[in-house]
Structure formats: structure tokens, C-alpha cells
Structure 1
Amino acid sequence: SCSRAKDVTMPAKLPVNFFSTRSPVIDLFRGQLDYAEHLRQDSEIVLYFFYAPWCGQSIAAREEIEHVASRLSDQVLFVAVNCWWNQGKCRKQKHFFYFPVIHLYHRSFGPIEYKGPMSAVYIEKFVRRVMTPLLYISSRSKLLDFLSNYEPGVLGYFEFNASPQPPGYLTFFTSALHSLKKDYLGTIRFGVITDKRVAEEISLVHSGSVYLHRHVNTSLIYPNDIMNFTAENICKWALENREMLIRWLRPHGGKSLLLNNELKKGPALLIFIPYNPLAEIHPLLDEITKVALEYHNCNKSQAAEPDLQHLQDSDSPAFDSSVPNAHTKLSETFSITKYPCCNTVVLPQWHSISRTHNVCELCINQTLGVKPNKVHVPHCNFLEIEAALDSFYLQERTFFQVISNTIECSNFLSFYSPFSYYTACCRTVNRHFLSFISSEKTIFQTPKVAFSSHGKKDNTQHSIPHIEDRNWFIPDLHISGTNITGLSCRTNKTLNLYLLDSNLFWIYAERLGASRSNHLKEFAAIVDLKEEVHYVLDQNQSLVGSTLENFIKNFSILYSPLKRHLVDDPSLHFHEQRVITEVTTHTFHDTVFLSEK
């Protein structure tokens, strides 16, 4: 009877070749894991491609792997293993939750799992990183190239003159491989300095020292006295202290909380650009990262990239505010870094200081901080003066002299930077505006200078560039109400900056409002999840640094002029009869209010 019938199952078909027999990839389609391990013994770099023959993603990645193998098969051994065949050792020993899986080995170190996009250029880039985890820096120009990259950089200094493998070098080499294990996007770059004079440029003196380069915050030297010098510790230290000015987002295409978790952190600027990881130069990316660097450069008293500046111009002297009486004539070569930034301020009637003085000369001074590199003063800008005025009015500094011809000076610390302080020198002039104008140039020429008890003596007689004169010295600097420099710290609408490769993720750009006729595949949008709004950069403008700056500035100001973007797909406008009508922003009024139903 039917109840006694046994279950009959068809045995699995014997596996067949997944890759072509002419392919440079060795295909172990019966899941021979032991033979795969044997092959690894004789090769320096091995890539394992674990697949399931029925899996659509494995089939799609097959062509990409073959493309990479055709380019690197002379340096890397490519082995594909069928991990689905139930009689094979791979299925019995490995328990993967998804396919395909890519593992790389550098000699005995591994496995390093690749979790990036299954695209040939990305896979090849990762394989090349595993092949050469360290960049060797033997000259100043190579050091400058390394430091100017937007990705975080870790540099080790080792003297190879004494021995072919100096102490600590192998540990540092292994730490670079460890970082690829934890950071599969390869955002931290590792380099080795082999020349003592080059190492001194970044204050590395002892062989075995490790340096973490950061663009905005102070760069760090590995604390050997606190942490043991192990590969895991160096990698952990670099990952914890790295500076992420701008992040790449690479959704894997399946269900994921990646975008949700990032957008929950606050307003996000998503920038879509076509990206080839194998290209040697990325001009658009360089421009975007320059904007990101300026945006995050909150310590306005220190110019961005000070170490790069002094590498490029080693002859420029470091600014020293301990010599305030330095006189330099304007006829000589002018250097903005030798002068503080000053402006003349007419005090309002309500201010307490105006009872005794009505005109002040407000200057921004620079002190030399304890830094591993030289400190440079940035160009004088309107925001510096604005911040000084705010601090000055809030401090309500009261000067002791009654109405007289003396000038009284006072110093007070900056609220924003420990390396800056403001100097205010005030006096009384004729209340009549016309005589103020006629005497403007002689206001501060009186020799009588009085100092308040909390102030330091400062000489105000030498020529100082005023804020309104800065275009004469710096023709490229334009006056504007908002400056991108340090804007992330001066607004409550701080943006997180993200990059996406439009070659892979253009569908996300289209969902955000990108035009389908956009052949350049360049797009930028700001998404504010909390306010439930998003803004799109005008697609008639090219995506360059200046337009991106204006987009960020327009979002950051209190009453933003940006227009909220409403998602609406014109291709969805059908006139056929439907049971359920889809409502968009354009059809809402007609459908809901004017419809008879």
C-alpha cells in the first residue's frame, strides 16, 4: 500500500567543471580540500574561490575571477573549490553561510577573507594589497605622495643598513596583513621608511618607531612603553586612532542595515562618483577629499596639512609668537604667517567698554603648540575676526582708563583653540564720524600705551594687515559670509561624508533623484533621516569642489535656501484603470481631493 512505500530520493549528480579547462584557475570541482592545502605549500600568494555550482552569485563572480587570474596568474595561484558537493571534503569541513567566499594567503599568513564587491577591479586591487602590504619609501617625494593621500597612513622606520631584517620589521609587516583581515576595504595604508633623513621629516629618530599620519588631528607615534610591540596591537592601535574624514560605503546587495546604521548617525552627504580602484590618479576624488579636509579642519589656528607644507617648502621658518616685536617692512617679501590678523572695531554704545573707549584694534595671535611638526598660521579670514568679536563681546573686558589719549591693551584666550589668543587695544576718539574717518590712520600712532592688569605688553606700532586688505596680499581669497574651513565644528547640522561608486551603486542614486540620462554618473545628495528630508545637488552643475562647497554651506546655514527634493517617478504616470492607484507628490491633489471616489 501507499503507506508502506519508502521515500525515494534521486542521488545528486556528479559535479562537473565549473571553470573552463583552459582557464588559469585550478578547478577542484570535487571539493578536494586536502589537495588545495597541498598546492598552497609551494606558492607565496594563493587565492581560494569557494563556490556552489548552483549559486547565481558564484556564477556571476566566475567571470570576474577569471579576468583577475588572467592578469595575475604569473604571481598568484588561483584555486576554485566546489564546497557544495556532499562527498567532497570541503563540504564536510567548511560550513559557509553564503557563497562565493574568497580567501587569500600570504605564505603562511591567512586566511584573509575578501568581503568587497565581486568586481574584477576591486578583487585585483585587494589581491595586490595582499601581495605588497607595505610601500617602501626611500625619498622625500615618495613620503610626500604617501602623506598627501586621503586614506590614513601608518609609517614604520627601520634601518636596513645594520641587518637585512631589522628588529621589529617582520612584526610591522604582519600588522599590515592583519589590518587587511579586519579592514577588508583596505583604507589604512602601511609604509616603511628606509632612510634616516626622510624619517626625521616626521620626527622618527629610532629604528622601529611607528607613526600614524592624521590630516586634521595631531599625528601619533606608537607608544612602545605602554603597549607591547605586536602585530595585533599595532593594527588595533591604528584602527582605533585613524581619522575618517570621508567613508566609502559598499552595500553588498542583499538585506543589510549598513545604510540605515550610517544614516541614523545624522545628516549624510552621499557622493556618487565613477571609481576605478586600479587607476593611478583620481582627480575628482582628490578634489572631494580636499573639501572634506577643509570641512573637518576645526583647529583654524593651524593650517591644514602643516607637515606637507613644510615638506614642500623646507626653508619657510616656523612662526614664533614669543618674538612679538619683530619688525618687517612691507617692501620686503611679505609672509602672512609673520603677522596676526587684525581689524578695527567701533564699539556699540551699549557695550561696557564704550563708556571709556569707543574704538578697538582686535588681533588674532598665534602661539606655538607642542606638535611633532611645524605650526603654520592660516590666511586671515572673516570667520576668525567674527569668532574674536564674539569672544570679545561675551568677555565684557573692562578697561581701567577713563576717556584719554592712551591706548589700553588686553589679551584673552580663544574659546576654540589652545594655540590662539586675541589681543584688543582700545582708545577713545572724537565721537564725530567725519573726524573719525580723517583720523583713522593716526588712531594707533600715539606712543602712550597702557596695559590692563590681566594683559601682556604687545607692540601695535608695526604695520599689520587688516581684514579688508587681505585680498591685496592673497588674491585668491574671496570674502564670503560662510567659509567651508572648520564648518563641521561651527554648526549643529554637521554632515557625515560618504562616497559610493556609481559604477556599482547607481541604482541608489536613481532612487534619491538622479537623472537616468546622467551619462557621467556623478551625483550628490544630502539625506537627513531625523528631519525626513533630502536635498539634491543641481544636476545641471558639474560635480566639482566649488559646487560641493556651496551645497554644504547652503545646508549648514540657519535658514537653508535648499529646496526639499520630493521623490516622484514620471514613468509611473499611467492612465489605465487600476484597482489600487499609486499616489505621488504630483498626483496627490488630483487623486485625493479632486477624485469623485
Structure 2
Amino acid sequence: MVKGLDWFRNKWMLLKEIMARNPELLSLFFALVLSGIVSHLDNPKGSKATPYVIPIPPKIFDHESPVIEFTTGDMTAVRNVIASTGAEVWIIMYYAHWDAYSLETAKEFERTAEKMSDQVLFMAVNCWYPYGACRHKVTVPYFPILFTHRDSREGIQYTGLQRATEMVDHLKRVCSPLKVVQDLESLRLLRAQHDAVALAYFSFEGTLAPQGLASYQWAAMQHLEKDPVQPTPFAIITNKQLARTLGLTNSMSITLLRNFNVSLYYPSSREFKAKPIVEFVTTHRESMVQWIALLV
């Protein structure tokens, strides 16, 4: 009996905590209970019950907002908008209209859109709506969750602070994932701003899309997901003479320039794919904070 009471007490405390974090859930719960009671009263015993249909959720963005909203989670409509606009970069906020965090993030998301909508397509999808495709096709472990896409590739999750300032910085990096180094002076300035710089040489002779460039750019994107606060910049060199000065003799050569340690070269024996490149940069980069920690 005591164990049963303890179990009930623990479950009740957990429920209270969930309701405290999302007070809208309480309203939703009572609304569903009330609708069930009304449905029962309207359909007395012995009569054919009418199933309750959840109404289309309300919008959480204004009609004049630069954010395109899909309240029913229609992913086909989302793809159609992307195709019709020809967007190169887009960001999607998956939300639940009753969730307090979603409503708060929506304000910051809209502020971000007001600053970046000329470069980025902003969309918001209600992924809670039970009858929508999003609910059944997109994995959303919690609300809200944001994904950024570029060049029709799979998205990266935005893992930074959900504030306009940080989201603007993130989207600027997504719009220009690679820095172009023209000379030693521009490289010096880049290194002065960061503790480490990933630098690759690509030969554009006879082609506008050299082998390995797409993988390197995708690595830069994936790195933004791992470190949204202080990501290591990914830069490229196209000048052969400058590349040789830095020890990059072949196209698809990468070096990790570190201000607090010797520079490292990406092993030629490793596959030139995004995942191992990200692992190389993430594992071997060093920051001033790390060195201070070692000295303390």
C-alpha cells in the first residue's frame, strides 16, 4: 500500500513539474476532457458516437510576418515553397502552438527573419498537429527545434541560444560557410580573430567545382552544428603559389592552423569526406581557454 502511494506521489510530482513548465498543457488537457464530456452528453448510451476531431491550430505568427507558417504540418507545401522561391538557404522552426518555449522562441525567430529574410527563407511548421505530415515524418524530440538547410542538402540542427542575435550570427555563417583567403595579410587577420583556422587548397583550373569542395563545405556546415558559439572558420585558398607557401602542395590539401600549437595537416590517407574532416578539426583545434586551464 505504501509503495503504491509513493508511486502515485512521484507521478503526481512529475505531472506538476510538466504542467509548471508548460501551463498551456493544462488548458489543453481540460479542453480535451470537456470536449469528451460534451461528446458523451450529445451521444447518449446506445447511440452512435461522433469521433472528436482536433481543429486546425491557430497561427502563432502575424499575417504580415516574414515567416511563412504551416499550421497543419503540411510538408508537401513546405517543399513547394522552397522549390518556388529557389531559396539557397532556409531555416525551419518546428513548434507546437501550445508550448510556452515555442511561443517565446517565435518572437526571436521573427526578429531574426526581419533582419535576414532577404537572404534566408524562414518557415515555421506546427509539428504537433496530429493529422499533419510533419507529426508522422519528421522526428522532433522536443519543441521547438530549428533546422538550417543550404543547397538542398539535409539540414543541420541549430543548437545555439534561441535568441535573435545568436541566430543572425549563425545564419550569416551558413550563408558564407567558407572564407576565401586571397593573401597572407587576409590570413593573418583571420587568424587574429580565431584560435584556430581550417585552411584548404583547391585548384579551380579547368573547373568551377573542384573535387572535394562540396565535402569541405558540408564539413563547415556540420561543424556549425557541433559548435554554434565559437566555431572554427573553414577557409580556402585558390592561389597555387600561396598554397605552396603554406605547405599545401596538392588540391584537396587541408591544414589546421593553431595559434597556440604547431599546425597540423589532414592525413592524405584519410577519406576526403565531411565527417572525418569535422572530426579532425574538432579533435585537434585548441583554444586559449584550454591553454589557460592547463596552466592553472
Give the TM-score category using the shorter length: 0.7 to 0.9
8 Å CA contact 1:154–1:238 kept in 2: the answer is yes
1:168 aligns with 2:182: no
CA deviation vs aligned residue, 1:561-597 (integer Å, no higher than 9, x gap) = xxxxxxxxxxxxxxxxxxxxxxxxxxxxxxxxxxxxx
108, 113, 117: which one aligns with 2:152: 108
Change (3 A) 1:87 1:215: same
Pairs within 5 Å for 1:10-89: 11-41=53-83, 42-89=86-133
1:217 aligns with 2:264: no
Pairs within 5 Å for 1:291-302: 295=292
Pairs within 5 Å for 1:367-516: 488-489=294-295, 494=296
Pairs within 5 Å for 1:130-279: 130-185=174-229, 187-224=231-268, 226-246=269-289
- Aligned residue identity for 1:104: T
Q: CA deviation at 1:154?
A: 0.3
SS at match of 1:47: strand
Q: CA deviation at 1:227?
A: 0.9
Cα separation, 2, equivalents of 1:186 and 1:96: 26
8 Å CA contact 2:159–2:225 kept in 1: the answer is no
- Aligned residue identity for 1:39: V
- Aligned residue identity for 2:79: E
Q: CA deviation at 1:237?
A: 1.2
SS at match of 1:238: helix
- Aligned residue identity for 2:95: Y
SS at match of 2:270: coil
- Aligned residue identity for 1:170: A
- Aligned residue identity for 2:260: V
Cα separation, 1, equivalents of 2:287 and 2:154: 27
Q: CA deviation at 1:245?
A: 2.9
Cα separation, 2, equivalents of 1:14 and 1:159: 54
SS at match of 1:135: strand
- Aligned residue identity for 1:229: F
8 Å CA contact 1:151–1:189 kept in 2: the answer is no
Query: Superposition RMSD on alpha carbons, in Å?
Result: 2.5
Q: CA deviation at 1:112?
A: 0.5
Pairs within 5 Å for 1:496-575: none
Counting aligned pairs with the same residue, the percent is 29
Q: CA deviation at 1:144?
A: 0.3
Q: CA deviation at 1:52?
A: 0.6
Q: CA deviation at 1:125?
A: 0.9
Give the alignment's TM-score, normalised by structure 1.
Answer: 0.39
- Aligned residue identity for 1:149: Q
Cα separation, 1, equivalents of 2:76 and 2:205: 42
Cα separation, 1, equivalents of 2:155 and 2:143: 16
SS at match of 2:155: strand
Structure scoring higher RCO (CA < 8 A, sep ≥ 6) equals: 2
Runs of 5+ unmatched residues, structure 2 = 1-43
- Bigger radius of gyration, 1 or 2? 1
Q: CA deviation at 1:33?
A: 1.4
Q: CA deviation at 1:93?
A: 2.3
Q: CA deviation at 1:5?
A: 6.2
Between structures 1 and 2, the one with greater helix share: 2
Runs of 5+ unmatched residues, structure 1 = 248-291, 297-487, 495-597
SS at match of 1:14: coil
CA deviation vs aligned residue, 1:101-124 (integer Å, no higher than 9, x gap) = 101111122211001111001011
8 Å CA contact 1:152–1:187 kept in 2: the answer is no
Q: CA deviation at 1:200?
A: 3.7
8 Å CA contact 2:191–2:197 kept in 1: the answer is yes
SS at match of 1:153: strand
SS at match of 1:110: coil
Q: CA deviation at 1:202?
A: 2.5
- Aligned residue identity for 2:259: H
8 Å CA contact 1:143–1:198 kept in 2: the answer is no
Cα separation, 1, equivalents of 2:111 and 2:287: 32
